Structure 1
Amino acid sequence: MKKTMKFGLITVITLMMGAFLPVTNPVSTVHAAGAAPKIEAKAAFILEPSTGKVLMNQNGDEKLGIASMTKMISEYLIFEAIEKGEIKWDQAVPISDYAQQLSQDNSLSNVPLRQDETYTFKELYQAMAIYSANAATVAMAESIAGSEPEFVDRMKEKVESWGIKDYELYNSTGLSNADLKGHMYPGSNEKNENAMSARSIAIVAQNLLESYPEVLETTSIPMMIFKEGTSDSIKMENWNWMLKGFVSERENVDGLKTGTTDFAGATFTGTAEENGMRIITVVMNATDGQKDLQKRFVETDKMMDWAFSNWEKVEVYKENDGLEGVKPLKVENGKTDNVKLAVASDVSLLVPTNTDVKDKEATFTAKKKILNDSKQIEAPIKKGTNLGQAEISIKNDDLGYIDGSKGAKVDVIAANEIEKANIFVLAGRWIKVFVSDLF
């Protein structure tokens, strides 16, 4: 009985104290992303390509061997040559002595090539993208640039244009120089290997997907027969075991490129899209990857699980929506004295899952020379006129990105048309200002 009375008294006192305690509310509507998994590899990296946000960086800035992930750069240059009209998909590709000799090396990933047979760019590109065929890659490089070293010079120029500086490129394939039958880039030796950081190879993949998303139509093919119906036919199974029908199958994976050499270990640049969000993953030199070729895909699966569980892309504006939280621009000599601002395209933000994106903010920067000395825009103004750019973000200091700008940038346009005021309207305004100044 005494214990019951004591408990009751404590409860009453606790409740009374609670009545006078201040009530606190959460200060943020942003839910932090869960801790990233530890990946059993020399380096691991996750990039959301449309925003450039880095979601994971595990030793992603150390230069390491990239092996056949090199071929993503070659793929870019092939698509670019098609786009420029330098080559055509149905165009025949001559097979040099070197390409023919290399194609006969069964210790390397190859399709057999003969000099008395006709091969199109389409056929050799498919062999490269699906089966990582090395001699096929060399043949296309030679045909496009005149020689493989000249093609490598184009590769270097291209990656530098993307801001990549931590690279070594010696061939179009990613093979060890020691496997090139003596056909090495001038000034290099048998010990030289293609190398790059995980961040940089993710940037390569980002540019490839942005410029030529059709690459996924081929990289997502699990199996194809090369030269089907001929005596040279060969079954090409994709080295990406995350595609449908393979041991590490994962839904929505549609690329992108594997790579394996003694120097680089087992590597993989993967990509998948779920719920409207695409990610690029990079695993370099997976632990015991040479003994267990599935390891790189197991680790990639962990990365994709984490990224898709903890992050999402959320639409915060639709095209032509009015820009919130930003004052209209003042208009000089217009029928109305301001013009409303609108976004020129849809805007989505990459945020931790369950983030309340209603709490957004915008920072507007007017286009250069569009404002006069009075910080006004001159009428007339057509609806849809580009007025500048805005950065849209969530009102929170830290959304959890490893790096990358906080918000999303979007062009800002005039939401309405402003006609130039006639002389009578302007005179009336002048008189109104004059009288106001008098009194």
Structure 2
Amino acid sequence: MKQKMFFVKISTILLLSSALFGLFVPKTAHAEDIVDITRAAGYTVNGIYRPKASIIIDATNGNVLWEDNPDLPWSPASTSKMMTVYLAFEAMEQGKFNLDTTITATETHAKISRIHALSNNKIVAGVDYPIRELLSMIIVPSSNVATVMLANLISNNDEAAFVQMMNDKCAELGMSNSMFYNCSGAQISSFQGYYAPIGIDPNADNQSSARDLSIMTYNMLKKYPEILEYTKSPVVTVMSGTPYAETFETYNHSLEGAMYSFQGMDGLKTGSSPTANFNYIGTAKRGDTSLIEVILGAGNWADQAGEHERHPFGNAILERAFSTYEYKKLLSKGSNQIDGKEISLAQDFYGVVPKNSTPKFTLENNQLLLNNGLAQVSEKIPAQSVEYTEKQPSQGSNNNKKETTKKENTTMTDSELPIIEYVVSAMVAILGGIFMVLTPMTRRPAHGRRARHSTGMRPLFLLGLILLASGITLGVLSWQMGTWFPFQF
């Protein structure tokens, strides 16, 4: 009987300890399976189309709202073309050309446009194609020849140099899992010799990840939001009013008005190949909340239904993100009370927080920190900053106040977590557990023939139970309220 009671107590303590330490695990961006979320959203999907990787980030601050294998190396396929578009807008910003600049198509361009294994549009040798038209050709029908034409303009026809520009941009943006071998996402060998960057493996696939593609998109839209003008329409006509006009329907079936129309979807690009299966980058905005999502590796190339099946998954997790989080003003310009201190903000402070929640802030190391529990998608994308002035009473006078102006840098750090509080809670709980294990159940003093069957608990065992319960309670409070311990080390 004693042995049985001992094992009962051990099992109880282990279960309670597991629950306690489970509170200390950092919050993840998701806790549910993407297939279950998609079905719960009302879509009928087969698990065989499950994406290999996905991510959703806030397009304003770069907070990660959802992630599933975000760093899995994967072929981006034609979503690679958005890096070429990025570099084109950067070149225009530098004054190298503009949207009205034209490229005269060559016979080589015309031959590339006739390679049926590649996604393309008709290009006629001798015709002048404005940059604005090439951008639409690249983004909507995913034209490989238009991508090559634009890349060659940017690099002065040095194809290998342009690929190096792509990889240099990856390094600049912090896309650490990315490597480009071509400008469009199609292997060099598929161009039948008409596009052949010198010194680059013709059979190599571009490589990236869901995280890296979201970083690229975040930076691109921050600098060149006008790109969305080319991505938001489900149907576009290029070279309108000329003999070379063509009309295309988007492959982004989540755009408003398309097959899987999603409210607020305004871009961005799809991609597919035998090695990548079906990918897409989506951007959407509702109110002040703008989100970026990346879906990689949905379905299988042998089953072309994956082109459509990737979108229910993307729509479902994007809807979940919009339903859970919002970007809004958290603190107004001027005087604010934070942690018992009076600070004055030079401007309104915005951020992403769970809906119907009270924002939590911490003043620490001369920083105003937003404790929203969300990580930044990249170390190179810091949280928003704002200047503030802290007012402190000077010694010997209640009327004179010393003002110190500080620059906020709200990059999330480990110091935001209530580590000391967690340690204290754990120590209290563990101490209680030790008391409970080492203190055996006992009998009350015998008073009569049947009294020896009446049991009770020794005071030390009862104290252990109280300490264990107290430790768990403190852990819950730390998780909900953040720091509360009066001393910091």
Q: Is 2:242 the counterpart of 1:233?
A: no
Is the alpha carbon distance of 1:409 and 1:244 closer, same or farther for their aligned partners in structure 2, counting shifts above 3 Å?
closer
Of residues 230-239 and 67-76 in structure 1, the stretch that sits farther from structure 2 once superposed is 230-239
Please state how far the C-alpha of 1:203 moved relative to its aligned partner: 0.5
Amino acid at match of 1:267: N
Q: 1:165 to 1:247 in 2, by over 3 A?
A: same
Shift of 1:415: 8.9
Which of 366, 370, 377 aligns to 1:393? It is: 370
Deviation sequence 1:342-394 (CA, Å, 0-9, x none): 3233222322222112x4333362xxxxxxxxxxxxxxxxxxxxxxxx33324
Determine the C-alpha separation between the residues in 2 that align with 1:78 and 1:32: 36
Q: 1:116 is matched with which residue: 126, 132, 135?
A: 126
Alpha-carbon distance in 1 for matches of 2:253, 2:180: 26
Q: Which of residues 288, 300, 317 is equivalent to 1:276? A: 288
Contact map agreement 1:156 1:169 (CA 8 A) in 2: yes
* Higher helix proportion: 2
In the alignment, which residue of structure 1 is the partner of 2:320?
Answer: 306
Q: Matches of 2:53 and 2:333 in 1, distance apart? A: 39
Give 1:221's aligned residue: 233
Aligned to 2:206, which of 181, 194, 197? 194
Equivalent residue in structure 1 for 2:136, among 97, 122, 126: 126
Offset at 1:66? 0.1
- How far, CA to CA, are the matches of 2:84 and 2:318 in structure 1? 26
**Structure 2 residue runs without a partner (length 5+):** 1-22, 36-49, 392-399, 401-489
Q: In the alignment, what sits opposite 1:362?
A: 363
1:57 aligns with 2:31: no
1:273-306 CA-partner distances (Å, limit 9, x unpaired): 1232111111111024642111111110111121
Structure 2 contact 29–65 (Cα < 8 Å) conserved: no
Change (3 A) 1:127 1:33: closer
- The alpha-carbon deviation at position 107 of structure 1 amounts to 3.5
Q: Which runs of 5+ in 1 are unaligned?
A: 1-26, 329-340, 366-389, 417-424, 426-439
For residues 408 and 166 of structure 1, do their structure 2 counterparts lie closer, same or farther at Cα, with a shift above 3 Å needed? closer
**Contact kept? 1:48, 1:55, Cα under 8 Å:** yes
Note the C-alpha offset of 1:400: 5.7
Matches within 5 A, 1:138-177: 138-147=148-157, 148-177=159-188
Distance 1:356 1:96, change over 3 A: same
Question: Residue 349 of structure 2 is aligned with which of 347, 354, 361?
Answer: 347
CA-CA distance at 1:321 after TM superposition? 4.5
**C-alpha spacing 1:318/1:180, structure 2 compared with 1 (3 Å):** farther
Q: How far apart, in 1, do the equivalents of 2:377 and 2:128 lie?
A: 48
Alignment of 1:94 with 2:104, yes or no, is yes
Looking at structure 1, the residues matched to 286 and 86 of structure 2 have their Cα atoms a distance apart, in angstroms, of: 24
* Matched-pair contact (CA < 8 Å) for 1:326–1:362: no
8 Å Cα contact 1:33-1:353 kept in structure 2 = no
- Aligned partners of 2:257, 2:59: CA distance in 1, in Å? 27
Q: Is the 8 A contact 1:243 1:254 kept in 2?
A: yes
* Structure 2 CA distance for partners of 1:286 and 1:32, relative to 1, 3 Å: closer
Task: Give yes or no for contact 2:174–2:378 (8 Å, CA) kept in 1.
Answer: no
State the Cα RMSD in Å.
2.7
What CA distance in whole angstroms lies between the structure 2 residues aligned with 1:177 and 1:34?
38
Residue 90 to residue 47, structure 1, CA distance change in 2 (3 Å): same
How far is the alpha carbon of 1:165 from its aligned partner? 2.3
Q: Deviations over 1:63-92 (max 9, x none)?
A: 100011111111111111111110011111
Q: Is the 8 A contact 1:99 1:139 kept in 2?
A: yes
SS in 2 for 1:64: coil
* Aligned residue in 2 for 1:206: 218
Are positions 1:254 and 2:266 aligned together? Answer: yes
Confirm whether residue 181 of structure 1 aligns to residue 192 of structure 2.
Answer: yes
Q: Is the 8 A contact 1:61 1:198 kept in 2?
A: yes
- Name the CA distance, whole Å, in 1 between partners of 2:337 and 2:131: 48
**Runs ≥4 residues deviating over 6 A:** 31-34, 402-405
Deviation at 1:32, TM superposition (A): 9.9
Decide whether the 8 Å contact of 1:219 with 1:255 is kept in 2.
yes
Q: Distance in 1 between matches of 2:369 and 2:176?
A: 30
Deviates more, 1:82-91 or 1:315-324: 315-324
1:272 CA drift (Å)? 0.7
For 1:180, the aligned partner's letter is: F
Percent of pairs with identical residues: 27
- Distance in 1 of aligned mates of 2:173 and 2:64: 16
Q: 1:64 touches 1:195 (CA, 8 Å); kept in 2? A: yes
3-state DSSP class of the match of 1:171?
A: coil
2:254 is aligned to 242
State whether residues 176 and 190 of structure 1, in contact with CA within 8 Å, keep that contact through their aligned partners in structure 2.
yes
- SS of residue matched to 2:79: helix
2:36 matched to 1:35?
no
DSSP-derived class of the 2:80 partner? helix
Between the aligned partners of 1:350 and 1:393, the Cα distance in structure 2 is 9
- The 8 Å contact of residues 362 and 393 in structure 1, kept in 2 or not, is answered as no
Distance change in 2, residues 1:35/1:116 (3 Å): same
In structure 2, relative to structure 1, the CA distance for the partners of 1:404 and 1:167 (3 Å cut) is closer
Match of 1:47 in 2: 57
Taking structure 1 as reference, are residues 35 and 181 closer, same or farther at Cα in structure 2, changes over 3 Å only?
A: same
Secondary structure at 1:304 match in 2: helix
Specify which of 129, 134, 147 is matched with residue 137 of structure 1. 147
Note the alpha carbon deviations across 1:316-360, whole angstroms, 9 max, x for none: 1133454634757xxxxxxxxxxxx53233222322222112x43
CA-to-aligned-CA distance 1:111-144 (integer Å, 9 cap, x gap): 2112211111111112112221111111111112
Residues 130, 33 of structure 1: alpha-carbon distance in 2 compared, 3 angstrom cutoff: closer
- Letter of the aligned partner of 2:373 in structure 1? L
Q: Using the alignment, how far apart are the partners of 1:138 and 1:404 within structure 2?
A: 30
Q: Helix, strand or coil for the counterpart of 1:196?
A: coil
Is contact 2:30-2:66 (8 Å) kept? no
Q: Equivalents in 2 of 1:229, 1:82: separation in Å? A: 25
Does structure 2 conserve the Cα–Cα contact (< 8 Å) formed by 1:392 and 1:408? no
